[in-house]
Amino acid sequence: MRPSTGLRTAVWVLLLVVIPGVVWAAPIGQEGGEAPADVLWITLAPLIAIATFVERILEIFWDRWEAPGLWPNRKGVLNPSAPAYVRSKKAWSQWLGTMVAVLIIGLTNVRLFRLLGFDVLFSNLLLFTSNVGGIFDQFTVGTLIDWLLTAGIIGWGGTELVHNIIEGLVKGRNLWKEMREVEAGRKSILDARFFGDYIAPELEKRGISVTGLRNLFQTLNTVGVSPDSLLGSLTVGQVDQLLARLESQPDTAPAAQAIRTFLEGVPPEKQPEIPNLLALLTPEQRRRFLGA
């Protein structure tokens, strides 16, 4: 069975809706959404198995239908290649395939959106529940929609359409991931350019070495003193009080000495400008370029 043009169009619309969610949502058994592409094939493999099974059932049915002397059509078909018969056979195959798929999905509870981990619209609208297990436990409107959509995809498109859907999801996921990586790389370059072309020169104008500032922040972190406490003290002009507090404790005395050494080369009138300049950096940029 080959899917019609209208059905192909509907599938591509479906992929455009589903792919963004597949990109961000991890498949079953995965966390964080960075699973390898073949996980999607493994996750949706039951759909391929059901579609293949439905196709084999239809092949057996039509072989018996067209052969004379066999049930259920002992008359057989005189000309199986007649255009009218081919069109009728295709239409009946789609409907029969859908009905068989409805039955199998009802027995196995293998549904497309359930396998992908999505809640279909009206998934919280409970119709009934039972104790028989499978699809009829917590049966909602969303379950019914997912059931019929999956059966329609298998019945009208067969294994070819199921393969196309999975391939579309995999390719879309990979493309989206590549786009995110490109965007992350572009942002990294822009961050480095901003720091190197503006922040670093401005620090040097105030007598501050980027390497010295990075080493100071690392020293403060080593002894358990937050660099933000130093920046806050510089902002309000209370560096002496901070130094006195640090020097009163043996564990933090090295931090006080490191601060004094660092500030010796910075004019007093320029010291309050340090926090304002570093405030232009995002926390991520500050961690990347200054280590704190």
**What pLDDT is stored for residue 5 in this prediction?**
56
What token pair was written down for 114?
Answer: 């359930």
Q: Are 11 and 165 in contact (CB under 8 A)?
A: yes
DSSP letter assigned to residue 131? S
Quick one: CA dihedral 183, 186, 192, 198, positive or negative?
A: negative
List the chain pLDDT tens, one digit each, 292 residues. 445 555 555 554 454 444 444 444 444 444 444 445 567 778 888 998 999 999 999 999 999 999 999 999 999 999 999 999 999 999 999 999 999 999 999 999 999 989 888 888 888 999 999 888 889 988 999 999 999 999 999 999 888 888 888 888 878 778 888 888 888 899 999 999 999 999 999 988 888 888 989 999 998 888 888 899 889 888 888 888 989 999 888 888 988 999 888 888 788 888 888 888 899 999 899 988 988 7
Q: Are 126 and 139 in contact (CB under 8 A)?
A: yes
Stated pTM of the model: 0.55
Q: Are 137 and 146 in contact (CB under 8 A)?
A: no
**What pLDDT is stored for residue 55 in this prediction?**
94
Whether residue 272 is preceded by a cis peptide bond, meaning omega within 30 degrees of 0, is: no
Rounded Cα–Cα distance for residues 86 and 221 (Å) = 77
**What pLDDT is stored for residue 38 in this prediction?**
67
- The type of residue at 172 is G
**What pLDDT is stored for residue 37 in this prediction?**
52
Exposed / middle / buried, residue 118 (Cβ in 10 Å: 0-12, 13-18, 19+): middle
**What pLDDT is stored for residue 26 in this prediction?**
42
**What pLDDT is stored for residue 35 in this prediction?**
47
Q: Are 165 and 17 in contact (CB under 8 A)?
A: no
